Amino acid sequence: MVKTGKNIQVAIADDHSLLRNALAKLINGFEGYNVVMEADNGKDLCNKLVQNVLPDIVLLDVNMPEMDGFETTQWLHKKYPQIKVLALSMLSDERTIIKIFRLGAKGYLLKNTDQTELKTALDSVMNKNVYLSEYVSGKLVSGLHNNVDADEKEAVLNEKEREFLRWTCSELSYKEIAEKMFISPRTVDDYRQALFTRLKVHSRVGLVMYAIKNGVAEL
Supply the CATH number for residue 188's domain: 1.10.10.10
pLDDT at 30: 96
The number of domains in the chain is: 2
pLDDT at 139: 62
User: Are 97 and 167 in the same domain?
Assistant: no
pLDDT reading at 162 higher than 80: yes
User: Are 38 and 67 in the same domain?
Assistant: yes
Q: Confirm whether 148 is domain-assigned.
A: no
pTM attached to this predicted model? 0.68
pLDDT at 40: 94
User: Are 14 and 109 in the same domain?
Assistant: yes
pLDDT at 68: 93
pLDDT reading at 112 higher than 50: yes
pLDDT reading at 136 higher than 80: no
Other C-beta atoms lying within 10 Å of the C-beta of residue 197: 9
Contact 105, 86 (CB under 8 A): yes
User: Are 67 and 137 in the same domain?
Assistant: yes
pLDDT at 201: 80
User: Are 123 and 204 in the same domain?
Assistant: no
Contact 61, 67 (CB under 8 A): no
pLDDT at 103: 87
User: Are 104 and 41 in the same domain?
Assistant: yes
What mean pLDDT is reported for the chain? Answer: 85
pLDDT at 203: 79
> What's the whole-number mean pLDDT along residues 103-126?
91
Q: Which residues pair with 39 in a beta bridge?
A: 13
pLDDT reading at 47 higher than 50: yes
Confidence of residue 151 (pLDDT cuts 50, 70, 90): very low
pLDDT in tens, 68-79: 999 999 999 999
User: Are 28 and 125 in the same domain?
Assistant: yes
Percent of the chain clearing pLDDT 90 (strictly above): 53
User: Are 208 and 124 in the same domain?
Assistant: no
pLDDT in tens, 165-212: 989 888 788 899 999 999 999 999 999 999 988 888 877 878 887 887
Residue 54 DSSP code: P
pLDDT reading at 98 higher than 70: yes
Amino acid at the residue 72: T
> What's the whole-number mean pLDDT along residues 14-28?
94
C-alpha 167/C-alpha 15 separation (Å) is 37
pLDDT reading at 144 higher than 80: no
pLDDT reading at 3 higher than 60: no
Tell me which residue range forms the domain holding 108.
Answer: 8-143
Amino acid at the residue 219: L
User: Are 161 and 136 in the same domain?
Assistant: no
Q: What is the 3-state secondary structure (H, E, C) of 79-132?
A: HCCCCEEEEEECCCCHHHHHHHHHCCCCEEEECCCCHHHHHHHHHHHHHHCCEC
pLDDT at 4: 43
User: Are 187 and 129 in the same domain?
Assistant: no
Q: Confirm whether 35 is domain-assigned.
A: yes
Contact 95, 150 (CB under 8 A): no
> What's the whole-number mean pLDDT along residues 138-149?
56
Q: Confirm whether 2 is domain-assigned.
A: no
pLDDT at 215: 75
